[in-house]
């Protein structure tokens, strides 16, 4: 079992279904989501780094490659 998974997708239905499937399968304790690349980068920027306590970063990231805002520039 993984401690944390991050799902990045611009489709809210896909995010909801991904969370349900991962939860039901017992694949992860914590499922975080982001709706675009900018939100995902913000997620990583808010992680607190400390000498005393290790940072819990996602062990697995599901990423939709075709998204607005920070896609390939054709959006």
pLDDT in tens, 1-57: 999 999 999 999 999 999 999 999 999 989 999 999 899 999 999 988 777 877 889
Tokens of 29: 């304790």
**Whole-prediction pTM value?**
0.83
Between 3-7, 25-29, 61-65, 69-73, the lowest mean confidence (pLDDT) is in 69-73
Q: Which domains are seen in the chain, by residue range?
A: 2-63 (3.40.50.2300)
65-71: average pLDDT: 74
- The CA-CA-CA angle for residues 5, 48, 53, to 5°, reads 90
Predicted pLDDT at 56: 84
Residues 6 or more apart in contact with residue 53 via CB below 8 angstroms: none
**Ordered alpha helix ranges (H), 2-74:** 12-25, 37-45
pLDDT of residue 39: 94
């Amino acid at each position: 079992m993984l401690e944390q998974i991050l799902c990045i997708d611009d489709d809210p239905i896909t995010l909801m279904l991904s969370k349900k499937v991962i939860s039901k399968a017992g694949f992860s304790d914590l499922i975080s989501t982001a709706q675009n690349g900018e939100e995902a980068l913000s997620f990583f920027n808010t992680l607190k780094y400390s000498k005393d306590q290790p940072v819990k970063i996602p062990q697995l990231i599901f990423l939709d490659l075709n998204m607005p805002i920070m896609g390939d520039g054709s959006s």
